[in-house]
Chain A
Amino acid sequence: MSKPLKQIHLAAHFPGVNNTTVWSDPEAGSHIEFSSFAHFARTAERAKFDFLFLAEGLRLREQGGKIYDLDVVGRPDTFTVLAALAAVTEHLGLTGTINSTFNEPYEVARQFASLDHLSGGRAAWNVVTSWDAFTGENFRRGGFLPQQERYSRAKEFLATANELFDSWHGDEIVADPATGTFLRDAKAGAFEHRGRHFDIHGQFNVPRSPQGRPVIFQAGDSEEGREFAAAGADAIFSRYSTLDAGRAFYTDVKSRLAKYGRRTDQLLILPAATFVLGDTDAEAEDLAKEVRRRQVSGATAIKHLEFVWNRDLSSYDPDGPLPDIDPDVGDHHISQGRAQVRMYRDPLATAREWRELAAANRWSIRDLVIETGNRQAFIGSPATVAKTINDFVQADASDGFILVPHLTPGGLDPFADKVVPLLQEQGVFRTEYEGPTLRDHLGLAHPDEVRDERAAS
């Protein structure tokens, strides 16, 4: 018995402030000017994508005590760009990453509720949590949170925001000029939250928005992250992995939903994915290799090696052999403001392994960093990439992808022009938007329907 074809969900991640983004390309445009965001969003909407995705970082990265200058540096404010993009798009979902550590629920809730109103129901929130004193130095309330409490704060932050979103039900505004009744209830928006991290009460001042609540994303695939997502997120923004690993992750996360009274279609799994297209698979492979070399300049290779070695390696030749000295395993890390460095839990072992790899393959430092770095998720002709994506989704390794182009702002254009039509021909991707809201695109019910459903069962 064959099951019906799943519909693929696609999103566009604006190129980030890391070395995936090739700013040195002659076609690379501004990362700040609104025209770049508008171009990117219009391409995504032309291709009928579900949503656009913006990341966030609240302190410029430093390495060796200096601002890291080899990648794109700087970005605009997430909320402000998304609100402006609502003016130049009609259907595209607008997903923003907003930190739960360096904000307060009342303010974030009113910003997301406002964005949802101003976009006619297209807002989504990627809830992230970070705690480092480094980023905290930019904030008046930056220093109050012990590191181990960041998940409990994130959980309570989201729960509190939901209480604020739900404090208006949608029928309070009567606005009847004849009787002079504007509000049905003087206590509209009343809330009271007494918790460990937030002790707040009063009245929320943004009435119920079109989606009720913004669509909620959880980023990352840690144990705690999976549980957080199963309990209350609408989608997971995960790392791309192999088909088998993807299926295992998918099965694991979806199996956690039942204990929260949720169905498997109430949480979407959307890994981030890079891509390189060519006329033929062979041409795409060559291009992809070239892109990887451009993503890792000699200077970048040295800096990435420093993530593991945790010491200044600027005297080493990127085209020469790996350092003989061992990593510094002290508490202080050479790189600040970067999540990636936590991946190397045992730097001595990683260094040993890399030396062996480099020796066996006659790799220079730069070769090693390129070869041990991520390959692009999808490399091939449009037909190959369309097939790979569809196979992945139909095999339940994901529900779609958040595509990360390496060029700003035109990097999504070839995908929109060449891959999307193939997916549409196969009947696995929409040719028109079916509804106005992001929940419509993602097949997610309005929170009121979900509540009614739970109450009835």
Chain B
Amino acid sequence: MSSSPSPLHLAVALDGAGWHPAAWREPVARPHELLTAAYWTDLVTEAERGLLDFVTIEDSLGLQSSSATEPDDRTDQVRGRLDAVLIAARVAPLTRHIGVVPTVVATHTEPFHISKAIATLDYVSSGRAGLRVQVTARRNEAAHFGRRTFPPFRIEDYDTPAVQDVVTDIFDEAADHVEVVRRLWDSWEDDAEIRDVATGRFVDRDKLHHIDFDGRFFSVKGPSITPRPPQGQPIVSALAHATVPYRLVARAADIGYVTPHDADQARAVVAEIRAEQTAADRADDTLHVFGDLVVFLDDDPAEAAARRERLDVLAGHPYTSDARIFTGTPSQLADLLQELQSAGLSGFRLRPAVAGHDLPAITRGLVPELQRRDAFRRAYEADTLRGLLGLARPANRYADAAHA
């Protein structure tokens, strides 16, 4: 079966010079500009040129590391980065259609601050904001805040009960975090600002709501200081590799990024998320499941393979990833995306191995190929990120309660 059910969605994940650890050493890389506005503006503008749905921007509350659990003290890879929400805000006024989805770390941050920051990103982008929520159990990052500690663990111990308890807790906390962020977005009804000169009232305070969240990890009163953002609810997304994070996606997100390596795995992951979605009583909500892929894209497959090999030599070891690593041509990638789409994925978040090379290869190679197959948009069809993702502007949870 080769016909695709509907156009697929495409996002690109931006991280420094690209996802391969030696990406910064490529001639097209701009390793001295990774902390400049011009660099990020160029990347997001290129993504918008390719009509992509959105970009995500990686972040962390510590220095990058090749280790999942601790700093690695390496000096041969990109280290140092800027706050992703602020990169998104800096780029938003210079773009018009593409969604901007920065990473926010739930574990050590205040949901009140995150909520108003993303609401404001939605205002400065006129309805194109989202967030990618991330958790961290890294001990070194916890020490940057000094408010809590995590037990030491090795990634090989991930499935042990002790580690699973920690993981379950931080994901439960993240779910509460997102719940507070979402309630705060709704804490102002859309028409709360009335500017009634006759009575002197700027707002109708009956349309401002305390959220009164009281959970295991924190309590937050509300309302937000920022009115409901243009999209009502900006997009919430999360990367997930296992049942606990799938559950977070199913409970709280609009998009889950998953890492199947073939169509069978994709089917299994989608089935698990759909089951969790039903269990979370969200079966009727649109929940996108996007496949994450690292891509080395060239017009000649041998060239892509050679480039990957050259980078691996520079890095000193073969590149590995949680996601499938694709090496080949735009046409081959289009085949793979359509195959995975037929297994239940509605879109893809591509991780360019080298931002300066593989991002333009996506926008100028893959996108036209998908368009030829009627599998991708030929022009932006909506003004908001929700619109691009086929999500309606949601009703306000408090408006219903107040006027029922």
CA distance A392 to B75 in the complex (A): 54
Closest to A71 in B: B202
Q: Give the interface segment out of A100-108, A228-236, A244-252, A448-456.
A: A100-108
Complex interface residues of chain A between 261 and 302 (CB less than 8 A to chain B): 297-300
Chain A residues near B31 (CB, 8 Å)?
173, 175, 177, 182
Closest to B76 in A: A180
Flag if A206 contacts B80 (CB, 8 Å). Answer: yes
Closest Cβ of chain A to B251, distance in Å, is 20
> Interface size (A, Cβ < 8 Å)?
76
Given contacts A110-B83, A115-B86, 18 further A-B contacts (CB under 8 A): A23-B202, A59-B225, A72-B202, A75-B225, A77-B113, A77-B119, A79-B86, A83-B86, A87-B37, A111-B86, A117-B82, A175-B24, A177-B24, A182-B79, A187-B73, A202-B144, A205-B63, A205-B80
Top 9 A-B pairs, shortest CB-CB distance: A140-B218, A175-B31, A83-B89, A137-B221, A80-B120, A84-B124, A114-B83, A77-B120, A76-B120
Chain B residues near A23 (CB, 8 Å)?
195, 202
Chain B residues near A114 (CB, 8 Å)?
82-83, 86-87
Chain B residues near A138 (CB, 8 Å)?
112, 220-222
Given contacts A24-B197, A76-B226, A79-B86, contact A182 B24 (CB under 8 A): yes
Can you show 22 pairs from A to B with CB atoms below 8 A apart? Answer: A60-B208, A67-B203, A67-B208, A71-B202, A75-B226, A79-B86, A80-B117, A81-B120, A83-B87, A86-B37, A114-B86, A139-B220, A140-B110, A140-B111, A173-B32, A175-B24, A180-B25, A181-B75, A186-B73, A201-B144, A203-B62, A207-B35
Chain B residues near A300 (CB, 8 Å)?
200
Flag if B80 contacts A188 (CB, 8 Å). Answer: yes
Q: Give the interface segment out of A32-40, A218-226, A320-328, A426-434.
A: A32-40
CA distance A138 to B144 in the complex (A): 22
CA distance A118 to B82 in the complex (A): 9
- B residues with CB within 8 A of A: 22, 24-27, 29, 31-32, 35-37, 41, 60-64, 71, 73-83, 85-87, 89-94, 108-113, 116-117, 119-121, 123-124, 126, 140-141, 143-147, 188, 193, 195, 197, 199-205, 208, 217-223, 225-227, 314
Judge whether A184 is part of the interface by a CB distance below 8 angstroms: yes
Judge whether A349 is part of the interface by a CB distance below 8 angstroms: no
Flag if A206 contacts B81 (CB, 8 Å). Answer: yes
Closest to A199 in B: B146
Flag if A202 contacts B141 (CB, 8 Å). Answer: yes
CA distance A69 to B200 in the complex (A): 8
Contact of B80 among A60, A118, A207 (CB under 8 A): A207
Chain B residues near A206 (CB, 8 Å)?
35, 80-83
Closest to B208 in A: A67
Chain A residues near B32 (CB, 8 Å)?
173, 175
Given contacts A104-B145, A140-B218, A180-B76, contact A70 B205 (CB under 8 A): no
Given contacts A74-B193, A140-B111, contact A79 B201 (CB under 8 A): no
CA distance A182 to B401 in the complex (A): 55
Closest to A25 in B: B197
Flag if B225 contacts A69 (CB, 8 Å). Answer: no
Closest Cβ of chain A to B130, distance in Å, is 14
CA distance A38 to B89 in the complex (A): 13
Flag if B81 contacts A205 (CB, 8 Å). Answer: yes
Closest Cβ of chain A to B109, distance in Å, is 7
Given contacts A182-B75, A189-B80, A297-B200, contact A106 B119 (CB under 8 A): no
Contact of A177 among B25, B74, B111, B141 (CB under 8 A): B25
Given contacts A67-B203, A118-B90, A201-B143, contact A184 B85 (CB under 8 A): no
Closest Cβ of chain A to B230, distance in Å, is 9
Judge whether A200 is part of the interface by a CB distance below 8 angstroms: yes
Closest Cβ of chain B to A65, distance in Å, is 11
Contact of A77 among B117, B143, B203 (CB under 8 A): B117
Closest to A143 in B: B219
Contact of A70 among B86, B108, B200 (CB under 8 A): B200
Flag if B73 contacts A34 (CB, 8 Å). Answer: no
CA distance A66 to B207 in the complex (A): 12
Chain B residues near A106 (CB, 8 Å)?
61, 144-145
Closest to B81 in A: A205
CA distance A453 to B219 in the complex (A): 48
The contact string, 1 if C-beta is below 8 Å from chain B, for chain A 61-100, is 0000011011111111101110110111000000000000
Judge whether A57 is part of the interface by a CB distance below 8 angstroms: yes
Among B108, B144, B195, B201, which residue has the most Cβ atoms of chain A within 10 A?
Answer: B144
Judge whether A158 is part of the interface by a CB distance below 8 angstroms: no
Judge whether A447 is part of the interface by a CB distance below 8 angstroms: no
Flag if B143 contacts A141 (CB, 8 Å). Answer: no
Chain B residues near A84 (CB, 8 Å)?
89-90, 92-93, 124
Flag if B79 contacts A200 (CB, 8 Å). Answer: no
Contact of A79 among B117, B140, B144, B217 (CB under 8 A): B117
Given contacts A87-B93, A102-B110, A199-B146, contact A186 B74 (CB under 8 A): yes
Chain B residues near A118 (CB, 8 Å)?
36-37, 82, 86-87, 90
Complex interface residues of chain A between 19 and 64 (CB less than 8 A to chain B): 23-24, 32-34, 38, 57-60
Given contacts A67-B205, A138-B221, A177-B31, contact A202 B108 (CB under 8 A): no
Chain A residues near B222 (CB, 8 Å)?
138
CA distance A176 to B74 in the complex (A): 14
CA distance A415 to B108 in the complex (A): 44
CA distance A272 to B71 in the complex (A): 46
CA distance A139 to B219 in the complex (A): 7
Flag if B77 contacts A205 (CB, 8 Å). Answer: no
Judge whether A198 is part of the interface by a CB distance below 8 angstroms: yes
Flag if A117 contacts B36 (CB, 8 Å). Answer: yes
Flag if A188 contacts B86 (CB, 8 Å). Answer: no
Flag if A183 contacts B92 (CB, 8 Å). Answer: no
CA distance A186 to B77 in the complex (A): 10
Closest to B35 in A: A117
Chain B residues near A81 (CB, 8 Å)?
89, 120, 124
Flag if B77 contacts A182 (CB, 8 Å). Answer: yes
Contact of B143 among A60, A139, A173, A202 (CB under 8 A): A202
Judge whether A347 is part of the interface by a CB distance below 8 angstroms: no
Closest to A62 in B: B205
Contact of A203 among B36, B63, B113 (CB under 8 A): B63
Among B25, B77, B112, B146, which residue has the most Cβ atoms of chain A within 10 A?
Answer: B146
Chain A residues near B61 (CB, 8 Å)?
106-107, 110, 205
